[in-house]
Structure 1
Amino acid sequence: MATLKSGDAFPSDVVFKYIPWSEESGDIKACGIPINYNASKEWAGKKVVLFSVPGAFTPTCSVNHMPGYIKNLPQLRAKGVDIVAVVAFNDPFVMSAWGKANEVRRDEILFLSDPDAQFSKSIGWADEASGRTSRYAIVIDHGKVSYAQIETERGAVKKSGADAVLASL
């Protein structure tokens, strides 16, 4: 597939790995059980913000990228966003722990795993050198992409940050 762009239909076969948040597995040391998360199906009739980071627990991702989304959740909801999700190449256990470390509860933000950066590769937005997911943001509005931007500058959070996404809504 070519690079995803505004106006495109969101692909119909996107499946991530995911560990749902629960009270029982809310402790960072609790593992939980990974399940498939069929994003294409779950997001079909919703407005979704999906942002991607190269890796959980990394400096730019943890200090500059994630906090903006946590802070701006109320503003995103006010703009009609039903789901906010972050994706990285990390396994679902790491993504779940990253959510817990950021004190995100009750799936306020979904922490999804893109194993082997399969989705990111399918849209042309995986880092070729490392094989990781690139830093990008996509807004999907009832199955149509309304915003799709990738960071081209290493360590930058200009096009994929919560402020840029909010400005696009």
Structure 2
Amino acid sequence: MTLQIGDSLPSATLMTPTPDGPRPITTDEVFKGKTVALFAVPGAFTPTCSARHLPGYVDHRDALKAKGVDTIACLSVNDPFVMGAWAESQAVSADDVLMLADGNGEFTRAIDLTMDASRGGMGQRSKRYSMLVKDGVITQLNIEEPGVFEVSSAEHLIAQI
């Protein structure tokens, strides 16, 4: 069952790229005691994700922080090396956006937000979405229809806060 507003995120271990290489990071480390703007993309380096989704959160970092967001996090069903290379190619630091790799899609499956992109050779991926999470509890949730980029944008999430 897909999570809804008011639900707690499940416990999971993701990976994040660091200068010393990938490191495990738990959902407790990311969300406990914090307000987090989490957005997910179908794939690093894909056109909409690279041209609009990730840059939008970087561009609106200060506005999100001014609304009380402690951390902005980007999740994708990619490996941590790809997430690190994508961040580097986009000149995104960990202070801007925490990159979260869900390489096996376990977290994405646990929250029932998988998308079958096998027709395009990408296998099982994450749906495009955004959510505001306060201390592990979802307070806003915006799930895109396939092929659409509207409600998961930084601008839309800022308007909801």
TM over 0.5: yes
Unaligned 5+ runs, structure 1: 26-31
The answer to whether the Cα contact below 8 Å between 1:85 and 1:109 also exists between their aligned partners in 2 is yes
Partner of 1:34: 22
Task: State TM-score, norm by structure 2.
Answer: 0.91
Residue 28 of structure 1 corresponds to none
Q: Secondary structure at the match of 1:116?
A: coil
1:165 to 119, 134, 157: 157
Q: Distance in 2 between matches of 1:100 and 1:39?
A: 23
CA distance in 2, matches of 1:107, 1:131: 29
Q: For 2:136 and 2:45, how far apart are their aligned partners in 1?
A: 30
For residues 48-67 of structure 1, what are the structure 2 equivalents within 5 Å? Answer: 48-67=36-55
Change (3 A) 1:58 1:42: closer
Q: In the alignment, which of 141, 146, 152 is matched to residue 148 of structure 1?
A: 141
Aligned to 2:61: 73
The answer for unaligned runs of 5 or more in structure 2 is 118-122
Larger strand fraction of residues: 2
Change (3 A) 1:38 1:141: same
Large movers: runs of 4+ above 4 Å: none
| Residues 1:111 and 1:145: Cα distance change in structure 2 (over 3 Å) | same
145-154 or 90-99, larger mean C-alpha shift: 145-154
C-alpha separation between the residues in 1 aligned to 2:25 and 2:86? 18
Give the equivalent residue in structure 1 for 2:87.
Answer: 99
Structure-1 separation of matches of 2:158 and 2:60: 8
Q: Distance in 2 between matches of 1:128 and 1:40?
A: 28
Q: Following superposition of structure 1 onto structure 2, how do residues 108-127 of structure 1 map, counting pairs within 5 Å? A: 108-127=96-115
SS in 2 for 1:75: helix
Return closer, same or farther for 1:106/1:149 CA change in 2, 3 Å cut-off: closer
Partners of 1:105 and 1:99 lie apart in 2 by 7
What is the percent sequence identity of the aligned residues?
A: 37
Alignment match, 1:139: 132
The Cα of 1:106 is off from its aligned counterpart by 4.1
TM-score (norm 1): 0.87
- 1:153 positional shift: 3.3
Equivalenced residues, count: 156
Cα distance in 1, alignment partners of residues 140 and 25 from structure 2: 22
Distance 1:67 1:105 in 2: 12
Q: Tell me the SS of whatever aligns to 2:104.
A: helix
Equivalent pair of 1:116/1:132 in contact (CA under 8 Å): no
1:47 paired residue number: 35
RMSD: 1.3
